[in-house]
Structures are given as C-alpha cells and as structure tokens.
Amino acid sequence: MWLYLLKRLALAIAIIAIAVTLLFLMIRAVPGDPAAILLGPRATPEMKAQLHHQMGLDKPLVVQITTFFGGLLRGDLGFDVFGQKPVADIVFEQLPYTIELVLFSIFWAVVVAVPLGCYSAMRRNSLVDQVVGVVAVATLAIPSFVMAVYALLFFAVTLRWLPAIGAGDGFWDGLVHLILPGFAIGIGWVGYISRLVRASMLEVLGENHIRMARAFGISEWRIVARYAMPLAILPTVTILGVGIAWLLSSAVFIEVVFARPGIGALIVNAVTARNYPVVMGAVLVTTILIVAATTLSDLINAFLDPRTREKL
C-alpha cells in the first residue's frame, strides 16, 4: 500500500508538472506578442518594453519556466497587469463560490439519487425503474447550460419564484440563489448516480451474506439500508473524484447563465479580455484540483480494493 501511495503521488506530481509546462509553452507559442495584445494597437515600443520587463517576457524561456515553477511552489501564480493584483488573490477570491455551487449540486443529487437507485434495484424492471432509467439517460445527455437557461426562463422569468442572477448575501439568501444553478448542475448527476447505485446494489443483493440475512427473515428495506448500502455506495464515492472535472466544466456555463461569481465566470471573462496571466492561473488551479481529486479517488479505491494496487 505504501509503495502504491508513493507511486501514485509521484504520478500526480509528474502530471501536474507536465500540464504546467504544456500550458506555459502554449501561451508562449501564440503568434503575436502578449504585451502588444494587452496594450492595444497604439502602444509605443517603450511601453511594450516596459510591460515585457514587468511580465518577465524579456528573459530566456528556461528562466521564465523556472521562475514560474518557483512561484507556483510558493503559491504565487503571477501578476495580473490589468487588475494590478496577484493572480492568486483573484483566483482564490472566486474559488469559494464555485466550490459552494459544486458541493451543493452534488449534495442534493446524492440525497435524491441514492434512495432512487436502491428502489430501482429492489423493484427491478418495475414501471418506476424503467421510467427512472430513461429519465436518467435523458438528463445526462442534455447539456447543463440548456437545462440552466430553461430553468431560468421557467422559474425566474415566467413564474418569478426564484432569483435569476447573482450569489446573494448571507446564508439564506445565498441558499435561495443556489437552488436554480444547483438544479441545473445536479439533475444529470441524479440520473448518473441512481443508475450507478442500482447496478452495484443489484450486484450486492445477489451475494451470500444478503441471502443469509434474508433467510433470517430480516425485512427487505432493512437489508438494503443496513447490509447492502455500505457496499453498494462505494462506486459512487470513487466516481465523485473523477467527476469533479465534469462538475467544474458545468460550473463554467452555470456561472455565466446565472451571472454568479466563480472560477468559471472568471475564466470566461479573462478569455474574453485576453488576460493571459489570469486564464493561466485559473486553469492551473482547476487542473491541480482535478488531479488531486482523481488521485484521492484512486487511493480510496486502492485502499478498498487491493487488486487495483498492482496495476500501476
């Protein structure tokens, strides 16, 4: 286990290092001078030279990369010349909004999907099971931004039940502002998780210790909740780690649709303004988040299922 842990961590660090280098080279490989783009067409050569110096563009590429890695280790993501602020400050100001949205979405999805999946497994091929199956595939297929726009149109514009934009102030207001965005992100996950729980529950229900419990005359609901659930829920736990990339991608659209602050909205705005340092910093932080989450889910997996340890 310890060897696996070390190997897996080394792989994660290698992936992050390569990802950073790739991103860095991509930004440098762009045709055109970033400083010239930032300053616009009327910039004088002196202004460009000064900005070059400020951004460190006048140094050799190797020095630039080493400086960037060095900064990264200290939590320094560079400096936003537009906003006159460190990029890290900007990114970490926005990050909590996105995390709050993602956690809320996944929380309600799990709360709804797990009982639904259990029920589908217990009443296999019943009407409910079949309907849930079709709806699950459908909600998974529909892009979250279409879902978000329709939810906004129906509940905020037409019915005026819920606020359309922003993140709200304070706990309750914030919670109310989370409902529609959370719905748009979570609905696909309800389908996905309920199918996952159903499949693993069916597998677990066929095992010997469950048949034993049944032979003792324990009620079906108690068997599911007490003996089968802890086993059947494992695939869901591990899939959430991998799913964070998907969640963050949906968050980009949802934040734009609902005009919420967050890392997605930050990236879209930075891309529109061609503010490369901010784009780079925000993409980096999300990449690190994703690598950390997948590594963690692999480790949990390896802890629970020793067979996966040999596969690295």
Partner 1 sequence: MASVETTRPETNVAIGPGLQQFRKNRLGMLGAALVTLITAIAIFAPLMIMHDPVRIMVGPRLADPSLHYLLGTDQLGRDTFSRIIMGSRIPLLVAFVSLGSSLAVGLVLGLIAGFGPRWLDNLLVLFFDTIRSFPGIIFALAMVALLGPSLASVILVIAITSMPIYARVVRTQTEALRSSEYVAAERSMGAGTTRILAVHVLPNVIGPLLILVSMDVPAVIAVEAGLSFLGMGVRPPTPDWGAILNDGFNYIDKAPWLVIAGGIPIVLATLGFTFLGEALREIFDPKLRKDL
Residue 99 in tokens: 């995390």
CB-CB contact of 251 with 267 (8 Å):
no
Closer to partner 1 at the Cβ: 99 or 149? 149
Residue 158 DSSP class: I
Q: Is 112 exposed, middle or buried (0-12, 13-18, 19+ CB in 10 A)?
A: middle
Q: Which is nearer to partner 1, 210 or 288 (by Cβ)?
A: 288
242 closest CA partner among 289, 294, 198: 294
* Distance separating alpha carbons of residues 23 and 288, to the nearest angstrom: 13
Q: Closest separation between CB of residue 207 and partner 1, Å? A: 19
Comparison of 92 and 246: residue with beta carbon closer to partner 1: 246
Contact 286, 271 (CB under 8 A): no
Cβ distance to partner 1 smaller for residue 64 or 249: 249
Question: Structure tokens of 153?
Answer: 């149109």
- Comparing CB distances to partner 1, the nearer of 136 and 233 is 136
**Which residues of this protein are in contact with partner 1, per CB under 8 A?**
8, 11, 14-16, 18-19, 22-23, 26-27, 29-30, 134, 137-138, 140-143, 145-146, 149-150, 152-153, 157-158, 245-246, 248-249, 252-253, 256-257, 264, 267-268, 270-272, 274, 276, 279-280, 282-283, 286-287, 290-291, 294-295, 298, 301-302, 308, 311-312
To partner 1, the closest distance from the beta carbon of 46 in angstroms equals 27
CB closer to partner 1, 88 vs 136: 136
CB of 37 to partner 1, least distance (A): 10
> Residue 32 is encoded by which pair of tokens?
């055109």
Least Å distance, CB 298 to partner 1, is 6
CA 50 to CA 286: how far, in whole Å? Answer: 31
Structure token pair of residue 298: 């692999």
Could you please report the per-residue DSSP string of 56-79?
TTTS-HHHHHHHHHHHHHTT---E
Least distance CB 164 / partner 1 (angstroms): 9
The least CB distance from residue 191 to partner 1, in Å, is: 11
